[in-house]
Amino acid sequence: MVLNWNKWAKYSFMKRYASLVPYLPEMRQFSNDTLWQMVDKYGYAIVKPAYGSRGRGVIQITSLKDNRYELHYENRKKIMKNKNQAYAYIRQIAGSSLYLVQWRVPRATVNGRPFDLRVVIQRHKNSGRWTVTGKLAKVTGKGYIVSNITRSKGNVLPVNVAIRRSSITRKHGVVDRVNRVALLSANTLGKRYTGHRIFGLDMGLDHKGHVWIIEANLAPSISHFLKLGNKTMIRRIRAYKKH
């Protein structure tokens, strides 16, 4: 695997730019120490593989009373009696893979289910101008924490519809902020991944409508756009890939 493609490399590069820092949830390389530093600081965290996609291997850990911890993996929850037991369970799932621990964005919900956004940004050949060519909302399936539709049996919605139905208290201007942060991200990543013409961002919105960059993808899947009734975005994404 190429190191530059892993989530830690992309996060570390983006973190160097002050303009992006307000949109990046805190993340560290996973270890016993960094796990508990994150959980003790925030009360919860997300643990996920540095390589991988489609929500595989993602675990949510939440601190409970009496030094107990809830671990949410796939659609299953387990209560661990102490830190040692919780860490051992995570390590069992992670194996020898490189893992990361990230502050869990308190995502806004639609009908009580968290959602995040897939935003695709592209540029034409021989052009340095980036354009948001597609975006949609991915709503998690019942009982899951990941928004990958196939894994969680969730559903997709147009972004405007998801925001309108969501728990976000300040809805005005959210779409404009998403577009602005997406373009800022593409312009920044383009400095590192020169020659690259497409980026896919998984972006979270909290209950106040603040935009968070959960992770950046260099080879984003666009299949979710086929599930939208309106096929304008999938056609535009495919056209940009050709030209």
> What is the residue type of 171?
K
122's CB contacts (< 8 A; 6+ apart) are: 130, 131, 133, 197, 198, 199, 237, 240, 241
Q: What is the dihedral of CA 211, 213, 219, 225, to 10 degrees?
A: -30
Give 199-222 pLDDT, tens digit per residue: 999 999 999 999 999 999 999 989
Measured distance CA(147)–CA(137) in Å, rounded = 9
The 8-class DSSP code of residue 206 comes to B
Give 83-98 pLDDT, tens digit per residue: 999 999 999 998 888 9
pLDDT of residue 1: 36
Measured distance CA(185)–CA(23) in Å, rounded = 10
